[in-house]
Structure 1
C-alpha cells in the first residue's frame, strides 16, 4: 500500500469545501458552477508533466492539445506545495496562459518575475519571511542562533539570502547544518550517520534558538534525525525551533508512535489563516462510505486511523468501520483547524470565482446564445482572467478582505504561532503574533510574550541564545580574536566613562554636568560648588586673611602712635604708611576670591589684587632706592642729596603703579574676566572666574615679578651698607620670600583645578604679603615695642666697625 502524507489531505478537503460554498453563493456565481479535479504527482517530475498534459486532453484520453468535451473547461490551476513543483508547473502552464495559484511557494521575487504572465501567490514573498525571522530574533535578543535547511538548491538559496540580513542585524550563526534526505534504502545508513553528526552539533551548541527552513520533507527528516539522536545519546534536545512557513508538522504512518515533545514551545511562521465557519463541522461529518469520486480517500482513511477496509491488508489488523472521528487523530496526521496552506487554497478558489464573476459582469463578458431554450455561456478562455486577477480585491467566505497586488502576491502576511505539544503525540497552534510587511513598519510586527509557552527545559523562562552572556552595565564588549563578533569578553569601562545598559558595544562619556558613579553604570549630576566661606578651606583662608589684616592694622597703629620716633621717621615715614596700607589691602583682597563669584567680583578681583600688590612692591622699591640714595648722599661732595626726598619716592610709587593700571585697563577693555563653570572636576561643577585672556593675567603677574626682581637686586647690592639699622637687608629677605612664593605659584596654579586653583592663589597672596610684612616690619616692631631704648637716632645712624 502506498504511503501518503495524510496531513496534506486537509488541503484537498479545503478545496472541496470552498467550491461547495462558492456554488451555494448565488451572489457570487449566479450562472456558473465550479468543479475541480485532483491530481497527485508524488514528488515525481515525470508524473507532474503527465498530469499537466492530461489537463489539455479529452477526459480519459491522453491526446495533448485536443479537447472535445467543453463541460470540463479548465480555467485555473491551484497547486504547487513546494517551490520546485510551482516552477515546473509554471513552465508548462505559461505556454497555455493558464492562471496558476500557488499556495506553498514562498520563492523570492526574482523567481516570481521570470514569467511573462505572472503566477498568483496566495502566500507572501519569502524575502518578507527573512525579515520576519530577523525581527523575531531581535525581539527576544537572540544573537547566537543555529540555521538548518534542506541539502538542496532551495536550502543554499535560503542561506545565501538570510545570512547577509543576519549580519546586518548583529546576529551570528552558531552553526549551519543541512538536513540529509535519503531517496533509496541503500542510502539510509549513510544518511543515518550524518543525522548523528548533526544531532551532536545541535546538542553541543550554546545556541538555544534554531531556525529551520525547508518543506514537508525537511520536517519528516528532522523528526528522524531527532529520534535517532535522542535514542543514541539518551538525551532530549531542548531548543526553541523557529519554523519557516513552508514547513508543517507532517508525519508518515510509520511515525505514529514517535514523540514530538522536542517541538514543544516552537515558534512557527505560517501563512495567515482564520477559522472558517462550518469547516470543522464539514470534517466531523466526513464518512468514507459516503464520499465518492475520490479514489484515494479510503487510502487516506486507512493510514490516518491505522485500519483497513480490506481483508487483504495483512499489515493492519483492525478493520475500518467508517465511524472513526478525525478530531481524535493526532495533529501530525491531521488537524481539525484550517491550516495556513488550506486557507490559501480556500482563498485561491474565491479568487477564481471573483475573477469569473467580474468577467461575466463586465463589458467583455462572454456573449450569450440560446440553444433549445437554454441560456449558455460561450467557453471562457483562461487568459481572459489575467486582467481581472491583477490587483483583485474580494471578500472570502469568512468576510475577510483578500487582495492580490500588482505582483500577484496575496497581501495577508504571516501568522506567528506557538506550538504546544501533548503527551498523546498531538499538538495545538496558539497564535501569538503577526507579521504584515504591507502595513507601516511600527505596526507590521507584533508578538505577545505572555502567550508563549516555552520548552520544559527552560522552566517557562524566556530562553537566552547568546554566544556569551550580555555584558552588565559598567562593562562593554571587547572582541575575541578569531571569534565571530557575537562572541566577546566583557571589560570594565575606562575611567570617566559609563555603560548604563546591558550589552553595550562601547562606553560613553557623561554629560559635562554629570560624572560616573563608582560602578560606572550611571551618570550622577554634579553638585554646583565654589570656595565658600562655609567650607573648612574657605573658612580657614578667610580667618587667616582677617587675622593678618588685623595684625597689619596693629603694626600701622603702632607706627602711627610712635610716629615721632627715629625708627618710624627713618626712610620716609609716609612711604612706610603707604606700604602698610597697601599690605592691609593685599590681605583683604584675598577675601574677594572666597564666596560665590559673580560678574562684578570676577571683573575686579584680579585687577584689585594686581594693582594693590604693584603699589606695595613699588613702595618696597622706593624704600630700597631711598636707602641707597640716603647712603650715597652722606658722602662729602655727593650730588645725590637733591634726589633724596618725598618726590622721588612718590614718583617711583606712581610710576610703578600706573604701568600696572595700564595693563589692567587693556585687560578689562579687551578680554575681561567673567563668571564661568568648570566641568573638569570629577564630581562637581565648580563656579569660578574665567580670566578671559590668560596672557593678560600673566602680564600682571610678570610685571609684579619685574618690580620685585628690581627691588630685590637693588636691595641685595645695598645689604652690606655700614648702618647699624640697614633696612636693605630686610627688604632683600622680603623680596626673596616674595619671589619664591610667586615663582612656585605658577606651576602649582597650572597643575590644580577647581577650588584648589583659587586656594593656591589666596595662599600665595597671603604668604607673599606676610613675607613683606614680617621681613620689613617685624624688626622695627621689635625695637618699638620691646626695645624702645634702641629707638634713638644715635643707635640708628652709627656705623659698624
Structure 2
C-alpha cells in the first residue's frame, strides 16, 4: 500500500491526495503478479480511477467492478479457466466425472461452478473431493483410496501445484490406472511430465493453456545486446557475467586462476537466459501492449482534442475508457480485448498427453477453444480429426432402437438400455424414451426408424376375396335356380304346400343374403359402410321371419279342431304376410335409428396387423349394432323354438323338421360367430362375418328347399297329393 501511494503521489513519503511529480505523466500501472497484492493495490488505485493491468493475478473477485473499477487483466480468471474446463468436458460428451478441488476459496468456487455447469449439461458427479491446503497424509491417503474405487475415468482437477504432485505420486504408487485428468494449470502439465510413472495414471489427460502473445522482436533484441554498446548499463554487465559464467576484468581487482574472464566475444544467439524474470516478458507483453493501444486511441480520438494537444497534462482516468475498449491483434496474430468485467476474452489451446514409448509421454496440441463472437457466454471448440477421445460414462450408450431406463437409487447417468416396443422407435443414441410412430407408419425391426404402412383390406382380387366372391355368386345363383324351379312347378302339391308366396319371398331374401357379402369386400367407403351391416340385418330378418311364418302356419294348421275356429284366421295368407312385415319393420326401424344417431364410417386400423394399415368400417354406435344383432338373434331363437316344438306333428304336409334343422344350422353358425368376431382383427374380422353369412344362408337354403327340389326334379311320381299324405315328405 505504501509503495502504491508513493507511486501515485511521486513522493518517497507520500501525502494522500497530493501529487508532486514532474516529467512525463504516469498513465497506468502494470502489476502485480500475485493476486493478494493486486487486491490491495486495486482498492487504492480504484479510488483515483487509475488504470491497473495485471498479467498474472487470477483471483475471481477482481472481476467485481464495484470494488475494483480500474482493474483489468490480460490473464483469464480462475472461474474463466474453470468454465473452459467444464466446456471441454461437455464437448467430449462425458457424463460421469469426478472433481478434485483445493480446500480453499479457489477450490470451492471452482468446484461449485463446475458442479453447476456440468449439472446443467446433464453430467453426473461420481465424487467431489476436497484436498486440504495443508499437507495431511491421512487425508491424502483417504482421497487416493476413494479415487481408486471410483468408476469415473474423467477427473477435473482444481489443485495447487504441491497437492497435484502429491496426489499424482500417491496414485502412481498404488497403480490406479486409466484415469483421464483435465486441468487448466500449465504447471500441472510440467509436473506430470517429470513425475515417474505418471503415464500409467494420466492416459490421454487433457490440459488447457491460455493462448498468449509473444513479445515481437524480443529475441532479436537480446541477441543484439553487448556491454560495449551501452557501457553505462551496469545491469547488462551482470547479466553477461551470469549468462556466460565469466567476470569482466577490473584493474583494481586481483584475478585468480580459476576465474574465467569475459572476453566480449561471447554471443547471446541461441543462448538460454539464467534469469527467471526474462520468461515473464512474454506474459507482461500483452499488458503493456494494451496500454500502448489505449494511449494511441486516446490521442487519435476526435473528441479528445485537448488531450491530444497537451499530453503533458494527461489524467490517468482519461485512459480508463479507451483501455476497456481496446480490440486489436498483436503482430503474431493474438486477439486482445476485455469483457465488461475487465477480464481478458481468453482463448485456449487444448493439449493431450500422448505416449511416446513405454512409460513416457508428452503433451501435444490437439485443438483450440475460442470465444463465440456471436455470443459471449459460449465457446467454440475444435479438435483435430485424428484425436482419440477417451470415454467417461457410468453406463454404455444406448444404441438407436433402445431407450434409457434409470437404475433405482442411482444418478440419471446410470441406466440400462431397453429395446423400444412395437410401434415405437428411437433414432438417436441415449434417448430418454422411445417415440411413437405416426398412425400411418410402423417401427422397423431394429426399432430405429418408422416405415410407411401398406394399406390393406379384403379385396376382390386377392385369393381369399375371390374365393368368397365366387361362393357368394354361386349361392345366389343356386337360390335363383331354386326360385325358378318353384315358379316352373308352382301348381304342384309340394310347392303349394305351406304358403307358396312365403317360399318365393324366402328365396328372394336368401338370394339377397348370398349377395350381401359383396358389400364387405373391396375398399371401404362411406356408402359401403352404411349399407353392409344394415343390408345384412334387414335381409336376414326377412328370411328368418319367413321361416317363422311358415312354422307358425304348420303349427296353427294342426291346432284346428273344427271349422270356424278362431285359429282359422291365422291360416289366412294375410296373417303370414303380417308376421313377415311386422318383424322386418322392427329391424328397419332399429337400423334407421342406428344410421340417424351414429352411423358406421370408414376407419384406418394400425393396431391389427404389424406393418399394415387395415382399412375397415367402424360400426359407430356399439349399442345400436348390438341391438340390431340382438333382435335378429332373438327372432332366430324364437323361430327355432317354435319349429322344435312342432317337429312331432304328423308328417303329411309338415316341413317343420326341415325348418328345425335349418334353424339349428343358422343358430349354430351365429353362436360360433360371436366369439370369433370379437377376437378377430383386421381382415380376419370381415372374413369371419362373410363366412358366417354364407354358411347360414347355405343352411337355410339347403335345409328347407333341397328336399323339395329333390321331389320336384328327381321324384315327380311322389309330387302328388296322395303320395304326400301317405309318404314321409312334406
**Shared fold (TM-score, shorter chain, > 0.5):** yes
What does residue range 119-130 of structure 1 map to in structure 2 within 5 Å? Answer: 119-123=71-75
> Can you list the C-alpha shifts for 1:307-348, whole angstroms capped at 9, x where unaligned?
96689xxxxx99999757668799xx9999997x55643544
| Contact in 2 for aligned 1:283/1:326 (Cα 8 Å) | no
| Contact in 1 for aligned 2:227/2:237 (Cα 8 Å) | no
After TM superposition, give the deviation of residue 466 of structure 1 in Å: 0.7
* CA 1:52–1:337: 2 relative to 1, 3 Å: closer
Aligned partners of 1:764 and 1:68: how far apart in 2? Answer: 117
* CA 1:268–1:323: 2 relative to 1, 3 Å: farther
Count of residues paired in the alignment: 708
After TM superposition, give the deviation of residue 589 of structure 1 in Å: 1.2
Which residue number corresponds to residue 14 of structure 1? Answer: none
Does the alignment pair 1:417 with 2:350? Answer: yes
What does residue range 562-641 of structure 1 map to in structure 2 within 5 Å? Answer: 562-633=489-560, 635-641=562-568
**TM-score, length-scaled by structure 1:** 0.75
Aligned partners of 1:181 and 1:327: how far apart in 2? Answer: 39
After TM superposition, give the deviation of residue 582 of structure 1 in Å: 1.4
Which residue number corresponds to residue 530 of structure 1? Answer: 457
Aligned partners of 2:279 and 2:62: how far apart in 1? Answer: 36
Does the alignment pair 1:712 with 2:640? Answer: yes
After TM superposition, give the deviation of residue 464 of structure 1 in Å: 1.0
* CA 1:601–1:505: 2 relative to 1, 3 Å: same
**TM-score, length-scaled by structure 2:** 0.82
What does residue range 726-741 of structure 1 map to in structure 2 within 5 Å? Answer: 726-741=654-669
Which residue number corresponds to residue 183 of structure 2? Answer: 243
Does the alignment pair 1:748 with 2:676? Answer: yes
Which residue number corresponds to residue 5 of structure 1? Answer: none
After TM superposition, give the deviation of residue 156 of structure 1 in Å: 0.6
> Can you list the C-alpha shifts for 1:640-682, whole angstroms capped at 9, x where unaligned?
3344343333333333333433443444444433322111123
Correspondence for 1:222 among 128, 150, 164: 164
Does the alignment pair 1:77 with 2:77? Answer: no
> Can you list the C-alpha shifts for 1:687-726, whole angstroms capped at 9, x where unaligned?
1122333333333323322432443343344333334452
* CA 1:639–1:175: 2 relative to 1, 3 Å: closer
* CA 1:730–1:199: 2 relative to 1, 3 Å: same
After TM superposition, give the deviation of residue 423 of structure 1 in Å: 6.5
Correspondence for 1:138 among 79, 90, 114: 90
Question: What SS does the aligned partner of 2:53 have?
Answer: strand
Aligned partners of 1:334 and 1:241: how far apart in 2? Answer: 30
Does the alignment pair 1:408 with 2:342? Answer: yes
Question: What SS does the aligned partner of 1:94 have?
Answer: helix
After TM superposition, give the deviation of residue 685 of structure 1 in Å: 0.6
Does the alignment pair 1:469 with 2:403? Answer: no
After TM superposition, give the deviation of residue 142 of structure 1 in Å: 0.8
Correspondence for 1:207 among 149, 152, 157: 152
Question: What SS does the aligned partner of 1:160 have?
Answer: helix
Aligned partners of 1:650 and 1:276: how far apart in 2? Answer: 118
Aligned partners of 2:53 and 2:555: how far apart in 1? Answer: 118
What does residue range 227-376 of structure 1 map to in structure 2 within 5 Å? Answer: 227=169, 229-230=171-172, 232-233=173-174, 238-244=178-184, 247-248=186-187, 266-273=205-212, 277-279=216-218, 281-282=220-221, 341=283, 344-354=286-296, 357=299, 362-365=304-307, 368=310
* CA 1:416–1:200: 2 relative to 1, 3 Å: farther
Which residue number corresponds to residue 255 of structure 2? Answer: none
Question: What SS does the aligned partner of 1:211 have?
Answer: strand
| Contact in 2 for aligned 1:58/1:68 (Cα 8 Å) | yes
Aligned partners of 1:445 and 1:714: how far apart in 2? Answer: 90
Question: What SS does the aligned partner of 1:450 have?
Answer: coil
| Contact in 1 for aligned 2:473/2:515 (Cα 8 Å) | yes
* CA 1:680–1:559: 2 relative to 1, 3 Å: same
* CA 1:257–1:617: 2 relative to 1, 3 Å: closer
After TM superposition, give the deviation of residue 239 of structure 1 in Å: 4.4
Correspondence for 2:64 among 109, 112, 128: 112
Which residue number corresponds to residue 445 of structure 1? Answer: 380
Runs of at least 5 residues in structure 1 that lack an aligned partner in the other structure: 1-48, 312-316, 369-375, 453-460
Aligned partners of 1:480 and 1:289: how far apart in 2? Answer: 78
* CA 1:282–1:178: 2 relative to 1, 3 Å: farther
Correspondence for 1:685 among 589, 603, 613: 613
Give RMSD over aligned pairs.
Answer: 4.5
Which residue number corresponds to residue 251 of structure 2? Answer: none
Which residue number corresponds to residue 430 of structure 1? Answer: 365
After TM superposition, give the deviation of residue 495 of structure 1 in Å: 4.8
After TM superposition, give the deviation of residue 586 of structure 1 in Å: 0.9
Does the alignment pair 1:93 with 2:20? Answer: no
Q: Which moved more, 1:281-290 or 1:343-352?
A: 281-290
Aligned partners of 2:317 and 2:428: how far apart in 1? Answer: 60
| Contact in 1 for aligned 2:370/2:380 (Cα 8 Å) | yes
> Can you list the C-alpha shifts for 1:591-617, whole angstroms capped at 9, x where unaligned?
221222234322322232222212212
Which residue number corresponds to residue 587 of structure 2? Answer: 660
After TM superposition, give the deviation of residue 449 of structure 1 in Å: 3.9
| Contact in 2 for aligned 1:112/1:119 (Cα 8 Å) | no
What does residue range 20-59 of structure 1 map to in structure 2 within 5 Å? Answer: 49=1, 52=4, 55-56=7-8
